[in-house]
Structure 1
């Protein structure tokens, strides 16, 4: 199992059946009977099922005839002190923990809604980059803290598998962070572009369909990378307990074709990010003519944080590909080059998160920014039209403050117009007031602009215009309990005020139909002209005297 194993030749003791491990005597016949083998390279004694540490202070005190050791220590325990790999891992773990706190602050800041949610721009779209950042911090913390036991385990075992399992998940997550940052920036540019005119861009054109399918294509490459790397037999990575095991088992498993293909798919996902960035700049930024001008414009319109994050994401992909070909620089190696491991495996991820956090603190909430842009457009339009709007404090100083909820405002308006059955009550009150004013002013009015004033003056003198209709009778409020009759009486009163020339000779107890000027509708003859707009009033009668709505 290990190099320099001495199954048939244990350290020599006092006789042929005796062996000595660090001044403690053991029965060599019992050890041979239970098929134990001694591995001096790491000081362990194992028979394939049981493994004991033989180095002090963990050396057993003896062995019984049934193969049981006295005061023995299991090989696969964290018995050694932490090393350089664990110390560097703790430092990076603390840094990622601090990043997690600031990421949660940015999630609250940019995830809040200050405008109604739109179907075209879901609120979760702006939060995905922070969700993936939380995922990256969580996987980094788990992987780095389990990496402490890689140094502490005397024999390579499960900790190195957990350390690399979460490291590969972290690599997937950080590429998704960069993607969501670029994708959402394009969505934010589109939102600003269509906010002045929502119909300037269609959703089912080539641009819209391209933006619909591009995220699906990106996550296809990302999940293919996941399925090529994560679901596998990780047990071969643990077989680094001797140089022979490392060469025969660990190196072929860590550099197989699936790791190489996963790196290629991760590079395709990075290229998809670049395509998304190019698409957003092409459609939502001014276009430049000429090849070199387009390159300069591409770099100029791209946010500065992407100028840093995209090369760092490419460094993540490059280091993963390097690990697929060179086992000596891979974190899968228990004795790897720590400088290459932390600078290539963890530093780019950490820097991307730091850039993302700083940019999140510098950028405002998108809803607030959109409100600010709308105010600026409104102010520009007011300046063009010459409109000067008073500031917000002007209403408060002058007492024009709409306090309370919308329900309170509606109830206050209802109370101002009378409350309850507002329409019928107010119409009856106005009709009574108008009828009283007509009776009181009929005798004193000698001239007026409205026709009812002229008629009222003539009636007061005892004369009147020949053929003119008599003044309408005073309005008598309905005292019954029927709301339907009250509405009919109100309509009759208003009709009498508007059309004083048309009398309503219908008794109070008759139906709802009112005949105009007591004439029954008749069907025109064959020689007569028919029109849907013809009046039913005879042309021989006096003209109708229509009152103004201002008199009611």
Structure 2
């Protein structure tokens, strides 16, 4: 049974004569009012279905003309009334929602920040969606609650009542999406911790992975059906609450039609999807219990405490939406609804869910930081199993083993440890001094010293170099160098090959035998220059095959690539 406050039509008061009426001390032509089909209502408005004017002081018109024009009139659809209890309570709720909006933004910054590289299976937006929906819920609540001010201030129902309920329904959808994203992301976070020690312990395309891929689509399909049944409609019928007859004929049938009654069932399906997702996460990422009773106890025990509070509150939200679709006097669509039922069932559950979500966000750490802490704990456990004991950080500082953060200081410290100075100047100077001493020794022992460093290298002809009277090359013997330097090994190999291609003379062979072994030289692989033979003059050089210069002069002896 629908309860409606009686608002009967009023008869025009009597005036000075039969064609005159007196309304709040102002005389009007009754014939003109009846001609234009004006009716006086108990809310002190005068309307003919197209035009509406306020008749109580100080908004009473002064006169009405014969063509139906009112002078000094006030339109009915203006905010002329003082705010009522609906607006006062709504402003209080709006202040709390505004605080939740600020705290949700803080939590979005905290939990949305990345401290580890992005993984393909766990995108950063997945953990941010619950805070995006929190911001959406706060925004919708603020818009809807502040429109309650105009709902009270409008004497005749108009667009504010529509805006208030439009954003209230969006608030309910966003709250359910917030609960879903919190539940879904908790399961994703449990999976991330489960596979972090071993990324290959679970497959991506097994039954579990496909279930987690498809269940979000199922949830948002139910939510979209709830949105489709409520939002796309003719909201103008909700405004028709300007008289009791109009409310019964127009507003109540529109507010309790089949679409409003079917929408809560799809919202309940969304709630059931959250329960199934929570059960799936506990079943796969928490220890399993045997027996139905133990499984129920384990389900409640493994469930985070915030879900123990959020899920019943979200179910109460669904229940009130269904109640509003059947009971007009409890519906927020009613301008004169029961305020206790509207705020307690329509706004309080959503606000409490937001508060719980914000508090849990401050208590929980950033997931990347939590994962880094778990990795450190696993590393310490492995070190203890292997018997590795790491010294604390203060140990190095106490012993002076503190590395500077400046790379230039580290390089300079390494340079000082190896001798300082320029990188190659020390070795170059040592090599020059050693070669100068070897040159002086060779000149002192030779009667015709050579002042040219590469005097031992002569230009020969390939035919002349293969003379028959030349002694046979010495047999090949492996290099006596046994070090690890590949460059030194290559130099010894090239010396052996040069000895085979260019056989030395008897005198040079004796000189080479008397010289120290190449592996005894430590000057970057440089052997002493050959000062035994003299460099021939330019006139004695010839490229002719008949020349005997190659038989008289020593052959070319290549000891190192640096001698060429």
What residue is the counterpart of 2:384 in the other structure?
383
Asked if structure 2 preserves the Cα contact closer than 8 Å seen for 1:76 and 1:153, the reply is: yes
Q: Distance in 1 between matches of 2:318 and 2:395?
A: 59
What residue is the counterpart of 1:60 in the other structure?
61
Residues 116-140 of structure 1, C-alpha deviation per residue, up to 9 Å, x if partnerless? 1222111111111111011111111
What residue is the counterpart of 2:37 in the other structure?
35
Q: CA deviation at 1:50?
A: 1.3
Q: Distance in 2 between matches of 1:108 and 1:496?
A: 58
What residue is the counterpart of 1:15 in the other structure?
17
What residue is the counterpart of 1:463 in the other structure?
none
What residue is the counterpart of 1:249 in the other structure?
250
Corresponding position: 1:182 with 2:173: no
Superposition TM-score, scaled by structure 2 size: 0.75
Q: Distance in 1 between matches of 2:315 and 2:40?
A: 47
Asked if structure 2 preserves the Cα contact closer than 8 Å seen for 1:111 and 1:126, the reply is: yes
What residue is the counterpart of 1:199 in the other structure?
200
Q: Distance in 1 between matches of 2:430 and 2:282?
A: 68
Asked if structure 1 preserves the Cα contact closer than 8 Å seen for 2:238 and 2:333, the reply is: yes
What residue is the counterpart of 1:523 in the other structure?
none
What residue is the counterpart of 2:340 in the other structure?
339
Q: CA deviation at 1:334?
A: 1.0
Q: Which moved more, 1:89-98 or 1:56-65?
A: 56-65
CA 1:330 to 1:495, structure 2 compared with 1: closer, same or farther past 3 Å?
A: closer
Asked if structure 2 preserves the Cα contact closer than 8 Å seen for 1:240 and 1:246, the reply is: yes
What residue is the counterpart of 2:402 in the other structure?
400
Count of residue pairs brought into register by the alignment: 463
Q: Distance in 2 between matches of 1:89 and 1:496?
A: 86
Q: CA deviation at 1:250?
A: 1.0
Q: CA deviation at 1:67?
A: 2.2
Q: Following superposition of structure 1 onto structure 2, how do residues 384-533 of structure 1 map, counting pairs within 5 Å?
A: 384-397=385-398, 398-404=400-406, 497-498=488-489, 502-504=493-495, 518=500
CA 1:387 to 1:86, structure 2 compared with 1: closer, same or farther past 3 Å?
A: same
Q: CA deviation at 1:395?
A: 4.2
Corresponding position: 1:283 with 2:274: no
Superposition TM-score, scaled by structure 1 size: 0.76
Corresponding position: 1:232 with 2:233: yes
What residue is the counterpart of 2:94 in the other structure?
93
Q: Distance in 2 between matches of 1:186 and 1:495?
A: 58
Corresponding position: 1:81 with 2:72: no
CA 1:409 to 1:137, structure 2 compared with 1: closer, same or farther past 3 Å?
A: farther
Residues 366-389 of structure 1, C-alpha deviation per residue, up to 9 Å, x if partnerless? 111111111111111111111111
Q: Note the residue ranges of structure 1 that are not aligned, 5 or more in a row.
A: 441-465, 474-492, 506-514, 520-544
Q: CA deviation at 1:10?
A: 2.5
CA 1:431 to 1:223, structure 2 compared with 1: closer, same or farther past 3 Å?
A: farther
Q: Following superposition of structure 1 onto structure 2, how do residues 113-192 of structure 1 map, counting pairs within 5 Å?
A: 113-192=114-193
Whose relative contact order is higher, 1 or 2, with alpha carbons under 8 Å and at least 6 apart? Answer: 2
Q: CA deviation at 1:200?
A: 1.0
Q: Note the residue ranges of structure 2 that are not aligned, 5 or more in a row.
A: 1-5, 440-473, 502-516, 525-564
CA 1:495 to 1:361, structure 2 compared with 1: closer, same or farther past 3 Å?
A: closer
Asked if structure 2 preserves the Cα contact closer than 8 Å seen for 1:52 and 1:75, the reply is: yes
What residue is the counterpart of 2:49 in the other structure?
48
Corresponding position: 1:325 with 2:316: no
What secondary structure is seen at the aligned counterpart in 2 of 1:117?
A: coil
> What RMSD over aligned residues (CA atoms) do the two structures have, in Å?
3.5
CA 1:322 to 1:357, structure 2 compared with 1: closer, same or farther past 3 Å?
A: same
What secondary structure is seen at the aligned counterpart in 1 of 2:28?
A: strand
Q: Distance in 2 between matches of 1:546 and 1:276?
A: 78
Q: Distance in 1 between matches of 2:102 and 2:491?
A: 80
Asked if structure 1 preserves the Cα contact closer than 8 Å seen for 2:8 and 2:244, the reply is: no
What secondary structure is seen at the aligned counterpart in 1 of 2:220?
A: helix
CA 1:220 to 1:410, structure 2 compared with 1: closer, same or farther past 3 Å?
A: farther
Asked if structure 2 preserves the Cα contact closer than 8 Å seen for 1:160 and 1:334, the reply is: yes
Q: CA deviation at 1:23?
A: 1.1
Instruction: Give the number of the structure whose alpha-carbon radius of gyration is greater.
Output: 2
Asked if structure 2 preserves the Cα contact closer than 8 Å seen for 1:285 and 1:301, the reply is: yes
